[in-house]
Each structure stands twice: as structure tokens, then as C-alpha cells.
């Protein structure tokens, strides 16, 4: 039986690129996003068969619990979990509404905690199980106008390193990817000409380039608790 990969936030952007690459590598993909239609459309475009699309808001504990129960019941035990579900609400702190703070922390940080918690028991039953969480360079370096988003991503670093320590003895690995500017819906409103000035490689990254790094971490049997930056060198200038 091929490996089962759960990709949260798999319908668009980085998560979709990860789903495509994993499907090309022969994994069955359980793709999770709030929009069932978008998830179904992406699943229909994946290489191979036996992929499933599930609607779930990762910030809601009951939904996460039910979704992962359903995945295990219908698809079997989970080998890989990729947490790419995320939102941004960029604004200076003084202009950030408390409800946006809650949404950012609940989706980006709590959502990842909930999906990891829901997947772990199942992952104990598979060889070479691995989790990749998606943070951000701004979680490592900070960025004006992204205080709460940065905090949610910085939280993922501590969470990832701690969970790696907790589950290492069970041979489950946990790593964090920290992308810079990647060309997706999330960065569609940014002026690329301005952003690229501080990127040594001189361009935004593509979702497929982050997917390559995610695959590397998923498949590297002796790497855990690490942060891999995928940013074209951006953090060198931050």
C-alpha cells in the first residue's frame, strides 16, 4: 500500500504544489481545506488515483478531530502530514483588530497544533512518519506590519522543535519550513518589483520550489527539529 500524506491547506498555493509532488512520488493524498470545491478541483488534477478531498477548518478542534478520524477510517494510517493551511492579515499592530489576531493565531498556530495532535496516534503505526510545518522567514526575523502573523509563525518554531523531541523516540520526525516571498494567492497583492530588491536571487519563489524542500524533509530519515529556510537569500538582508 502506498504512503498516505495529509496536506492541510492543499487546495491552493504551496500546499497544492506539495500535494502534486507527493502524488507524483506515488503517495495517496488526503487534501484538506475549508473549501470542498477547491479541494476537489485540486484532487482531480493530481497524478494517480485514491486521493481524497476533505472540507475542514483547521482552527476548529471538533472539525479537525472528525476529519482525521474519517481519514484513518477510509484511507488508513498516516505517513506524512504537511501543515500548509495559513492566512495573513497584514497591518500595523495599532490597526490590527483583535478578531484578526484571534483568526491568525487560531489558523496558523493552533490549527497546526490540532492537526499534529490528531495525526500522531495514526503515525505511530507507520515506518518513517514525518511532519512538515510551514512557518515563515518573518517568524524568524520579524517584520513591521506583520506582528501577529510573525508571532504565529515564530510559535511554530518552538512547537516544531518541542514536538520533535517528544516523538523522536517513536521515530516520527518533525521539521519546519520557513519560506520567504512565494508567488501564491497570499502574495498576489504585493508589488514584486519592490519586494525583490532585498532578495539576493532577485525574484519571488515558486510554490514548486517550496514543495521540493518539503519533500526533502519528509524523506530525510535523520533530520528532525530543524528549520529550513527557502527564501532566495532574503533573510540575509533582514
Count of all residues that appear for the chain in the document: 238
Give the whole-angstrom CA distance, residue 50 versus residue 126.
19
Shortest Cβ 125–ligand NDP spacing (Å): 25
Nearest to 112 by CA among 32, 22, 16, 226: 32
3-state secondary structure of 223: coil
Q: Per rule CB under 6 A, is residue 155 in the interface with ligand NDP? A: no
Options 55-63, 117-125, 163-171, 212-220: segment touching ligand NDP (CB under 6 A):
55-63
132 phi and psi, to 5 degrees?
-120, 120
Options 34-42, 68-76, 124-132, 192-200: segment touching ligand NDP (CB under 6 A):
34-42
Active site residue 149: yes
Q: Between residues 65 and 171, which has the closer beta carbon with respect to ligand NDP?
A: 65
Biggest CA-to-CA distance, the chain: 52
Cβ-contact 127, 168 below 8 angstroms? no
Q: Per rule CB under 6 A, is residue 15 in the interface with ligand NDP? A: yes
Q: Per rule CB under 6 A, is residue 79 in the interface with ligand NDP? A: no
Active site positions, annotated:
149
Q: Where does this chain bind ligand NDP (CB under 6 A)?
A: 8-9, 11-15, 32-35, 38, 56-59, 84-87, 107-108, 111, 134, 136, 179, 181-182, 184-187
Amino acid at each position: 500500500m502506498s504512503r498516505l500524506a495529509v496536506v492541510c491547506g492543499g487546495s491552493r498555493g504551496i500546499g497544492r504544489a506539495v500535494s502534486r509532488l507527493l502524488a507524483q512520488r506515488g503517495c495517496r493524498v488526503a487534501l484538506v481545506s475549508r473549501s470542498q470545491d477547491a479541494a476537489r478541483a485540486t484532487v482531480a488534477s493530481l497524478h494517480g488515483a485514491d486521493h481524497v478531498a476533505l472540507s475542514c477548518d483547521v482552527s476548529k478542534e471538533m472539525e479537525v478531530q472528525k476529519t482525521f478520524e474519517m481519514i484513518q477510517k477510509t484511507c488508513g494510517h498516516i505517513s506524512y502530514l504537511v501543515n500548509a493551511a495559513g492566512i495573513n492579515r497584514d497591518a500595523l499592530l495599532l490597526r490590527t483588530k483583535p478578531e484578526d489576531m484571534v483568526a491568525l493565531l487560531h489558523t496558523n498556530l493552533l490549527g497546526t497544533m490540532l492537526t499534529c495532535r490528531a495525526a500522531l496516534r495514526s503515525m505511530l503505526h507507520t515506518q518513517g512518519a514525518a511532519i512538515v510545518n510551514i512557518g515563515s522567514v518573518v517568524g524568524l526575523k520579524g517584520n513591521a506590519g506583520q506582528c501577529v502573523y510573525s508571532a504565529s509563525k515564530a510559535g511554530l518554531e518552538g512547537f516544531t522543535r518541542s514536538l520533535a523531541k517528544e516523538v523522536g523516540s517513536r521515530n516520527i520526525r518533525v521539521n519546519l519550513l520557513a519560506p520567504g516571498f512565494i508567488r501564491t494567492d497570499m502574495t498576489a497583492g504585493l508589488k514584486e518589483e519592490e519586494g525583490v530588491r532585498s532578495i539576493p536571487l532577485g525574484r519571488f519563489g515558486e510554490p514548486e520550489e517550496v514543495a521540493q524542500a518539503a519533500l526533502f524533509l519528509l524523506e530525510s530519515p535523520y533530520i528532525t527539529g530543524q528549520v529550513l529556510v527557502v527564501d532566495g537569500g532574503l533573510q540575509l538582508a533582514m
